[in-house]
Structure 1
Amino acid sequence: MKVDAATGIVVVGAGDPRPEPKALSAFLERWVGDERRYPVSGLRKPFIRARAKMRAHRRLEEAQRLVTVDSPFLRVAGAQANGVAEALGGEGYAVAAVGGPVADEVVPLMRAEGMRRAIVVAADPLSIRGHRLSDFAQFEEAWLAEGGVLDDLVFVEEYATHPAWQSALVALAKEGGPRDTARATWLFVAPGLPKVLARTEEDFAARSRALAEVLARDLGLPADRWGLAYLDPLVGDRGLMPSPTDLIGAWAKDSVRDVVVFPYSWGSDRLETLHKVDIELARQLRERAMRMFRIPCLNDHPELIAALSRIVLDASNEAPASLGGPRP
């Protein structure tokens, strides 16, 4: 089954920050806001925000220097959208709500190219709801400003529980992991939440763990052969969301030597995973004489394109004939 040829398949996420100061500030405002809102141990209150902001900027700039990439998110999101469009019809587009191009730039292009409808897909299957809905709201506003109507929009909000997506993740893990999956120890990593968001995203940790448990089961992993950690060091509850450092330290004491790192809750690799996983986490494992197997994100893998096509088609089938439907 195909979608109408005048349908835009749009993958939307935050994107990677551009190096200009204004873009870096916008990125920090969204992703590391806690460092600017909460006290830093050992500093008097008047100095908290300036010092914390400086540290956050420095880390981000260092990450960009080490990774030396030009928005891998945007390249992969575009490949995903184009792959789904090739499978189902329509045209593919990518929107990076923070890094750009933003919806105000993409929607006019879509309308100029004859797109009368849009299916808007969150870039990550399991993400922060407040951010995702903000991204959708920006797209909706831009769509209306260009003369579009709400009935011609479909939003695919969260699809981590879709069987096609879970099957694709398992296939990827088997392809990229060690030959004997159960002999190594698996580290599933998800994005952590700043404290300010943890209060409004109470079920995020539960949803992250539920997906990890499904993957561990389908991979045949015993309970003592896997763990779940969260990359963001600013998370408030370390008991609820342990960091990779917490688990690696405990595993090193148990003489674990092979660790499979699986950033399972991102739809594509980007600055966040390329730096925090491939540089910072890899260094921690080397320092403990532990060998790392890295499972890539699905990116534009054929399994991803097939799964996302199924998810998009299911969403369009659930909408009215116009491909509209209720907004999220």
Structure 2
Amino acid sequence: LRPDGRFMVRACMRYHPPLARQVLRQMTAAGVRRIIGLPLYPHYSIATTGSSFSDLHRAAGVIEPAPAIVEIRSWPREPLYINCLARRVREGLARFSGPVQVVYSAHSLPKKFIAEGDPYVRELETTIQALEEKTGQPGRLCYQSRSGPVEWLEPSTPDMLHRLADQGCENILMVPISFVSDHVETLYEIDMLYRDMAHEMGMRLESTRALNDDPEFIAALHDLVLNAASPPSTGSVPPNNKIEITK
């Protein structure tokens, strides 16, 4: 972003330092009066992006004068993001010699969120549709990491594995569709638990590499920020990328 203007780039976390209140104090003390919030959740949910922006607004609310906040709410079809994911899928498919079933595994949510209008599943499907248009490879969506006694989105990832085994599937390429970086849900759940589970059912499971610091993914984030930084009269919002300006 350095060639594109005067930007101070800082990371903050929802549940671990550096927290939003700490980062916003530092930024406003340095003279920043406009904050562009870029969540690393491509798909909006009140439980993830919504919670993060609520935390950001609480942090801004105790600062005088409060900075303006530009929310990049979701980006399920951002072109460079889709290109990067499609490249990961093609790389993964090349590791197999026979037919492969692509499985998109997303973080689960309670069903009641979707019933109340949360767009999470719809935005996941938007990304998957864009990927299938790029790769020509159909996939199946399932959900991981559920906990607690409420009803969660279905099918769960373990249920999907059982279903595919019953259908005679031999090879699975698992795409961690709602995760952009490696963490416990990719490195442990997918690469260890689900891989071992699939192996016990007679299937081979490989996963696509996380986007992490891939240059094309970083370029996607760059474009999202520049678009959000553009004055409303001249800037344009790409289709399926949602930007909201609040004070």
Q: TM-score, normalised by structure 1?
A: 0.63
- 1:209 equivalenced with 2:125 (yes/no): yes
Q: Which residue is equivalent to 1:159?
A: 75
1:325, CA displacement in angstroms? 6.7
1:198–1:236 CA contact under 8 A, matched in 2: no
SS in structure 1 opposite 2:178? coil
Q: How is 1:201-280 mapped onto 2 (pairs within 5 angstroms)?
A: 201-221=117-137, 223=138, 226-234=139-147, 236=151, 241-280=154-193
SS in structure 1 opposite 2:76? coil
SS in structure 1 opposite 2:91? helix
Provide closer, same or farther for how the CA distance between residues 186 and 91 of structure 1 changes in structure 2, counting only shifts above 3 A: same
Q: 2: distance between equivalents of 1:294 and 1:128? A: 24
1:320, CA displacement in angstroms? 6.5
- 1:104 equivalenced with 2:104 (yes/no): no
Deviations 1:104-155, CA, capped at 9 Å, x for gaps: 11111223344333211011101423442232132223234333444x4211
In the alignment, which of 72, 94, 106 is matched to residue 11 of structure 2? Answer: 94
Q: Which residue is equivalent to 1:125?
A: 42
Provide closer, same or farther for how the CA distance between residues 154 and 174 of structure 1 changes in structure 2, counting only shifts above 3 A: same
1:178–1:184 CA contact under 8 A, matched in 2: no
2:41–2:179 CA contact under 8 A, matched in 1: yes
Q: Which residue is equivalent to 2:57?
A: 140
Provide closer, same or farther for how the CA distance between residues 260 and 237 of structure 1 changes in structure 2, counting only shifts above 3 A: same
1:302, CA displacement in angstroms? 0.8
Amino acid at match of 2:167: D
RMSD of aligned C-alpha atoms?
A: 2.8
Deviations 1:246-275, CA, capped at 9 Å, x for gaps: 221122223322111100222222223333
Number of matched pairs: 236
Structure 2 unaligned segments of length 5 or more: list them.
235-242
Q: Which residue is equivalent to 1:116?
A: 33
SS in structure 2 opposite 1:190? strand
Q: 2: distance between equivalents of 1:167 and 1:95? A: 27
1:156, CA displacement in angstroms? 0.7
Q: 1: distance between equivalents of 2:46 and 2:84? A: 23
Q: Which residue is equivalent to 1:17?
A: none
Higher helix share: 1
SS in structure 1 opposite 2:21? helix
Amino acid at match of 1:160: P
The percentage of counterpart residues that share the same residue type is 24
1:165, CA displacement in angstroms? 2.0
